[in-house]
């Protein structure tokens, strides 16, 4: 089973050790955090930089459908859009991945075979995470066996909020072990963690347990990705790499719908973690409707006029 980063092995030796470590992290200045996020969000970019940012954002999208009414046909259509987002312009980048439930992973894998677009699958009783560990691990095994390249797991927020931090850590370790070659994204559901200090602690638990990405949200609650909570997580991965040499990705998800929103997040990445994270191997957007707006803005830059939503597929 994977172990924590050597520099922090003592921190995860016991429940009390992990608690001491987490509560020894610097407290978050909420006012300062929100002010910095708001300030970075006002940065303006020139037309050439905007064109670059739009293409970069498209390449970072995990194009997502996570509905009870999902069908194989819908997943195949979404996969086709991920591979060829704008049929009128073949220079449009492909998205990073298509994200589906485990029972749709095989359909997505077949549709995306040879395209370079990854198959991401939510698991561990997404979105609530309310299941026994053996059920969660079976969920992961099924998704990986069906062809998932990436697993998006949810943490046990009940365990976290009741202070059972080692349980959360050990569950992530167990899921990571089942992933094999698949990369693991750990979802905190930041809207349910109540405080920025809790988001910082959850970020460190995920990183110590071997997450390849830390992710804000499921997209299924009222408060999802925000500039402030994403900034806080970017600071965490930056600090973790500085201390361990290990780079970890960040994925804001839920509520990012417009090109303007996406550009704000890319500025956060560049100004906080740095250029090394401006790549879809290290930064993703969990989104379903964002791609359409990016495509419309891309068409506007190339043609000088808006094509309108009727010229992009409706998801």
pLDDT tens across 67-113, in order? 999 999 999 999 999 999 999 999 999 999 999 999 999 999 999 99
Active-site pick, 62, 139, 149, 152: 152
Q: Is the peptide bond before 127 cis (omega within 30 degrees of 0)?
A: yes
* Residue 12 structure tokens: 């995860």
pTM comes to 0.94
**Burial class of 239 by CB neighbour count within 10 A (0 to 12, 13 to 18, 19+):** middle
pLDDT tens across 17-26, in order? 999 999 999 9
Active-site pick, 81, 118, 251, 264: 251
Instruction: Compare 175 and 306 and report the one with higher pLDDT.
Output: 175
pLDDT confidence band for 312 (50 / 70 / 90): low
Comparing CA positions, the residue from 63, 58, 102, 104 lying closest to residue 80 is 63
Q: Is 167 a catalytic residue?
A: no
Interatomic CA distance for residues 211 and 201, integer angstroms: 14
Q: Is 215 a catalytic residue?
A: yes
What is the enclosing helix (H) or strand (E) of 152?
strand 150-154
Q: Is 136 a catalytic residue?
A: no
Active-site pick, 118, 215, 261, 264: 215
pLDDT tens across 187-205, in order? 999 999 999 999 999 999 9
């Amino acid at each position: 089973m994977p172990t924590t980063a050597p520099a922090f092995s003592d921190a995860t030796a016991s429940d009390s050790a992990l608690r001491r470590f987490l509560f020894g992290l610097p407290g978050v200045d909420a006012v300062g955090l929100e002010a910095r996020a708001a300030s970075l969000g006002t940065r303006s970019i020139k037309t050439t930089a905007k064109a670059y940012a739009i293409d970069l954002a498209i390449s970072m999208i995990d194009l997502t459908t996570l509905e009870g009414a999902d069908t194989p046909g819908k997943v195949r259509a979404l996969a086709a859009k991920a591979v060829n987002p704008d049929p009128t312009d073949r220079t449009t980048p492909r998205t990073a991945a298509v994200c589906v439930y485990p029972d749709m992973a095989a359909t997505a894998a077949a549709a995306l075979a040879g395209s370079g677009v990854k198959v991401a699958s939510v698991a561990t009783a997404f979105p609530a995470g309310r299941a026994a560990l053996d059920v969660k691990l079976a969920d992961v095994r099924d998704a990986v066996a069906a062809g998932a390249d990436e697993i998006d797991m949810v943490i046990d927020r009940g365990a976290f909020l009741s202070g059972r931090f080692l349980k959360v850590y050990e569950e992530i370790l167990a899921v990571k072990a089942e992933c094999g070659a698949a990369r693991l994204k750990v979802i905190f559901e930041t809207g349910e963690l109540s405080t920025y200090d809790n988001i910082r602690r959850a970020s460190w638990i995920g990183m110590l347990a071997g997450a390849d990405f830390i992710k804000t949200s499921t997209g299924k609650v009222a408060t999802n990705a925000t500039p402030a909570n994403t900034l806080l997580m970017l600071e965490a991965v930056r600090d973790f790499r500085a201390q361990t040499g290990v780079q970890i990705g960040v994925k804001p998800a839920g509520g990012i719908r417009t090109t303007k929103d996406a550009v704000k997040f890319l500025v956060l990445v560049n100004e906080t973690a740095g250029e090394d994270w401006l790549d879809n191997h290290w930064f993703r957007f969990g989104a379903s409707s964002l791609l359409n707006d990016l495509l419309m803005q891309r068409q506007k830059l190339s043609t000088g006029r808006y094509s309108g939503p009727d010229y992009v597929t409706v998801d």
